[in-house]
Amino acid sequence: MFARRIAIDLGTANTVVWVAGKGIVMNEPTVVAMGAEDGRVVAVGLEAKEMLGRTPGNIVASRPMRDGVIADYAVTEAMLRYFIQKVCGRVFLFKPEVMICVPAGVTQVERRAVLDATLSAGAKVAYLIDEPLAAAIGAKIPIAAASGNMIMDIGGGSAEAAVISLGGVVVHKSVRVAGNKIDEAIATYLRRKYNLLVGETTAEGVKLKIGSAIVLEKLEEMEVKGRDNVTGLPRAVTITSTEITEAIRPTLLAIIGAAKGVLEETPPELASDIIDKGIVMSGGTSNLRHLDRLMTELTGVPCHVTEDALLCVVRGTGVALENIDLYKRSIVKR
């Protein structure tokens, strides 16, 4: 009873930490800066993100998660230890119970990697919950009812569509295409059309400022600075929102393809429920302007973004952790 209970949404772009009795205590980018020689953690989160692409030779800033799964085990473990120590203090008598959410489509090996990293980082018990289920709980969808609910969780590394009924996932599809791939599409477009090289932080800034899933009625413009691919000198170009919409369209179609794939496999009884209730969208990338409208157009099913889409998954993970007996069928324990 003295042990802290911590829920962590270990995302590709952002990591959100929730503590029982306190709520959300941290929301930081999933970036770690480490010393190249000694492997010591120099910075985590926002401070480390500002170092991306700007580090000297003795510091390496990297994203330890890729496409929703662990890409660098040692760095992920160091990051988890940092988060746990920040919540519990450097010296803690009772090890915390930690629940982490993972994409529904990950392999057993990838699941085990998350569990092992969590236990190595100082957890007494590690639990895993599927991301679509956590997102549905966080979006206050009555998942225990005998009717179909569809959730589309679009994060930084992966997009997942799932139909949930009677407290479990009936059909799910996961594509490793999401927010980061949209940033890459913008950077690729700028390189091809303007011979301008930009980093991922700049590309993300363009997406947030003038990005839209459908062409805007009122054209928006933005100046983008980068390095000229031909001369190698710094240069600035002005781009429009319509160009960005065109650049990111193939990526968005791949994400919406996951939703279509799930709708095609959904049993008819549950499909009729989904037509009535619509698709609930969560995750940071679902906040892209007019993505819900594009999805409604292409699937023919009404879509709406849940409030606080970025924090939806961690809230659901926290609720599952507090009511572990209710959700024990859907949770892996180690």
Chain-wide mean pLDDT for the chain? 92
Please report the pLDDT score of residue 306 as a whole number: 94
Q: 290 pLDDT band (50/70/90 cuts)? A: very high
The secondary structure of residue 228, as a DSSP letter, is: E
pTM value?
Answer: 0.89
Q: What is the mean pLDDT of residues 116-133?
A: 92
Other Cβ atoms less than 10 A from the Cβ of 110: the count is 15
Q: What percent of the chain has pLDDT over 70?
A: 99
Contacts within 8 Å (CB) and 24+ apart, 295-298: 295/152, 295/256, 295/259, 298/253, 298/256, 298/260
5-133+313-333 has CATH 3.30.420.40 classification: yes
Sheet containing strand 168-175, edge to edge, reads: 168-175, 159-165, 149-154, 279-282, 303-305
**Which residue do the tokens 């100082």 mark?**
122
Q: Which residues are annotated as a binding site for ATP?
A: 12-14, 156-158, 204-207
In CATH terms, the fold of domain 141-177+252-309 is Nucleotidyltransferase; domain 5 (3.30.420)
Tokens encoding 200 = 């991922």
CATH number of the 179-247 domain: 3.90.640.10
Residues 232-283 pLDDT 10s: 999 999 999 999 999 999 999 999 999 999 999 999 999 999 999 999 999 9
Other Cβ atoms less than 10 A from the Cβ of 268: the count is 6
Domain boundaries, the chain: 5-133+313-333, 141-177+252-309, 179-247
Q: Tell me whether domains 5-133+313-333 and 141-177+252-309 share a fold.
A: yes
Q: Is the pLDDT of residue 139 over 90?
A: yes
Please report the pLDDT score of residue 2 as a whole number: 67
Q: Which residues are annotated as a binding site?
A: 12-14, 156-158, 204-207
Please report the pLDDT score of residue 327 as a whole number: 82
Q: 173 pLDDT band (50/70/90 cuts)? A: very high
